[in-house]
Amino acid sequence: MIEIKELSFGYKAAPQLFVDLMLELTEGNIYGLLGKNGAGKTTLLKLIAGMLSPVQGGCQVMGYKPHLRHPLFLQDIYFIPEEFSVPPITVDLYVNLYAPFYAKFDYQAWNEALDEFCLPRDKKLHILSYGQKKKFLVAFALATNCKLLLLDEPTNGLDIPSKSQFRKLMARMLTEERSFIIATHQVRDLETLIDTVVILDEGRIIFNEPIYESETNLEILFNDVTSREVQHETA
């Protein structure tokens, strides 16, 4: 599904963030993209989504080069950023306007997600709380039935019951053809949901392994892997 080879990328007036980055991800998994703040998680998601272009190297997603923004690619991917804005329209009007851009939009899944999150249909989006707005975006993203869903810190702003609802919906909506990549540093929120862990540290992939056969706590694993890398760098 995702194949990144020798990818390099950097922002202007800043050191190169990725140098010869290598990463392969397959369908049918919920990936946890873990890393400290500034590790490059959001940048990697934007490269996969085609919002940024690599300086060198290759990035192929579902057979497409993301930065070319092919229409068939765009209808099979959805990205929920950590910071977002919503228009001053109702939930129902938003769906009427934007669902047609996604050929596989599942209205039954949409209604189920709205009910699960207890979201109002008649209120305008911009007056909802931050947590309600985020739940709305998650519900819409899942209903698009896209093959690849990218989420950047999706549990920020959600209360404990909403986090539980989020995990249930994500697990229920995963299929063999879909993959979800969840970038976060809130490890505890997602340790029961993630089946494969990708750890990014200072622009490098330092861990990419499934965890379903391990009894290791995800937070302990994250701290252990990153601390070993620090020790290796300073040795």
CA-to-CA distance for 131 and 166, rounded, in angstroms? 11
Q: Among all chains, which residue has been given the structure tokens 């862990």? A: 197
**How high is the pLDDT of residue 231?**
54
Q: Identify the residue with better confidence: 36 or 54.
A: 54
Residue 200 near residue 41, CB atoms below 8 Å: yes
- Is the pLDDT confidence value at 234 over 50? no
pLDDT tens-digit readout, 150-172: 999 999 989 999 999 999 999 99
Host H or E run for residue 33: strand 30-34
Which among 130, 133, 136 has a CA at the least distance from the CA of 116? Answer: 136
User: How big, in percent rounded to 5, are the helix, strand and coil portions of the chain?
Assistant: 40, 25, 35
| Burial tier of 109 (Cβ tally within 10 Å: 0-12, 13-18, 19+) | middle
> Coil, strand, or helix at residue 107?
helix
pLDDT tens-digit readout, 220-229: 777 776 666 5
Say which DSSP state 101 is in. Answer: G
> Coil, strand, or helix at residue 118?
coil
Q: Identify the residue with better confidence: 76 or 202.
A: 76
Q: Does domain 2-234 fall into CATH 3.40.50.1950?
A: no
pLDDT tens-digit readout, 139-151: 999 999 999 999 9
Where do the domains of the chain lie? 2-234
Q: State pTM to two decimals.
A: 0.91
Say which DSSP state 1 is in. Answer: -
CA-to-CA distance for 49 and 29, rounded, in angstroms? 17
- Is the pLDDT confidence value at 199 over 60? yes
DSSP for 172-206, please give it.
HH--TT-EEEEEES-HHHHTTT-SEEEEEETTEEE
Q: Identify the residue with better confidence: 232 or 66.
A: 66
